[in-house]
A and B are shown apart, each in its own frame.
Chain A
């Protein structure tokens, strides 16, 4: 059984109304426990709509979304599903609610009525996991964007979440903040086996994933390893996307007559291909 499974999932906003809009159509996806998947697609391709189904924020208009075997439409499972899947959004300022970091991280556990000792323990462990323990008494508005996003991730971890769904978590961050978030996400996936769904417009970030899903005009149009997906530069450009810089450079060099047989998705690949 896959951890997340979408079966013929279709989502229509404002169904039956004048401004009805089809956002996602007939998507079939399976995400395994412990996997790191990235979702790519242009603005409006349906990737955020799809991701909001993973914890039941949106329910399918038709088709199904199953999390750990539970149907998101089944109301009695809503809380179980949301405890297992934590969401992190683009704007860090829209998802931090408390005046002190530890209160923010403790909000979820407190809300589900955990024992105060356990809350404290969860909060400490979560802050440590994102390397923010020394900031536990800080006010969030004194933190950088990358630090705020890590606090948001800690908020999910404090609920013992099994899966993180991150919707463009680095779009508003500077390079340092982006690295902080990417390193944290990738470490949590590797060391703790947290299933990770990572939506991004940055191809270099998607290249870290085990698998990439590509959305185009409401449909899932491709899935595969980063090497498989980034091999077809023409197709990616046609979809309004791109490939990592090293892959683009390899492609340009090939067009100038350089023979490169290996698949290139990062700088190490390219250096190896050229310098040896």
Chain B
């Protein structure tokens, strides 16, 4: 099962002087149970693309299948399929709106018809997952929280919908290093423990290198690459044409190789890189 996009094109403001082709004949598959990263520079079409995943935008051309169901149809099956996909937008804390945190997180589950008891249970679970203590925070205003807490409260609102596919648009932007790592680890846990499929939109390639099973690169509304990370990161030219950068670790490894260190140069995460370097130095008798 998967989210499958078939020949999707999207034009903003068609038939006006501002007409702009934002997505150009895109066909991709987001496989179930994996972490898929979508990377591209600002304006490459990433945000437009993900809004198609649950029908927020309707494609000008093409079809979207969620677990085999065409979500563009007007029937209950299509509606159920659209609800399998939860999207956390950039800076989701700006979308908090309710008087209390628990009301804010309840909004989604109530809206899809969960009972009060079921909603409460989901709110508690979601808050526990993002480390917001229910007893302490449930009845506070979301606007009294710190920036990082607000972000987590907003994410809990989507988690309470228990989406099968969770789409995250730059989830760690503006957070400090510890906050970035803690949040990404939460998503990794969600993926491992509940099998949630994750779609990570990011231009932080080191983040992508650490977490993604599969990478899709967008440039000017087109898919320029769809491959596992090691394959994507070996294409330095294509990455740079897409306005992106190699992960810092990969850049360091390339530099070492160019300066004569005999490494295989497959590593793009810190752990593997350290292993490769130590091995190479051992072979040279330097370590």
Contact = CB atoms under 8 A, between A and B. Distances in A.
Interface of A: 19, 41-44, 90, 144-145, 168, 171-177, 201, 203-204, 237, 240-242, 245-246, 248-249, 252-253, 256-258, 267, 270-271, 274-275
B252 A144 contact: no
Contacts of B146: 43-44
Interface string B168-186: 0000011111111000000
B248 interface: yes
A19 B145 CA distance: 12
A45 B262 CA distance: 43
B278 A256 contact: yes
Contact of B259 (A19, A240, A275): A275
Nearest to A171: B174
Contacts of B179: 42-43, 240
Contacts of B261: 274-275
A144 B249 CA distance: 27
Contacts of A253: 274, 277-278
Interface in B127-154: 144, 146-148
Nearest to A276: B259
B274 A175 contact: no
B39 to A, nearest CB: 9
Nearest to B275: A256
A171 B203 contact: no
Contact of A241 (B176, B203, B248): B176
Contact of B251 (A240, A252, A267): A267
Interface string B28-60: 000000000000011100000000000000000
Contact of A175 (B41, B176, B249, B281): B41
B173 A172 contact: yes
B260 interface: yes
Nearest to A175: B245
A195 to B, nearest CB: 25
How many residues of B sit at the interface, in one of the four size bands? 35 or more
B201 to A, nearest CB: 11
Contacts of A41: 176
Interface in B227-253: 243-245, 248-249, 251-252
Contacts of A257: 278, 287
Interface of B: 41-43, 144, 146-148, 173-180, 203, 205-206, 243-245, 248-249, 251-252, 255-256, 259-261, 270, 273-274, 277-278, 281, 287
Given A43-B148, A144-B43, A246-B248, 11 more contacts: A90-B174, A144-B42, A168-B174, A175-B203, A204-B248, A241-B178, A246-B252, A248-B270, A253-B274, A274-B281, A275-B256
Contacts of A171: 173-174
A77 B280 CA distance: 62
Given A144-B43, A175-B41, A275-B260, A249 B252 contact: yes
Contacts of B173: 171-172
- A42, A145, A201, A240 — most chain B CB neighbours (10 Å): A201
- A43, A144, A145, A177 — most chain B CB neighbours (10 Å): A43
A256 B275 CA distance: 9
B41 A176 contact: yes
A242 B245 contact: no
Contacts of A267: 251-252, 255
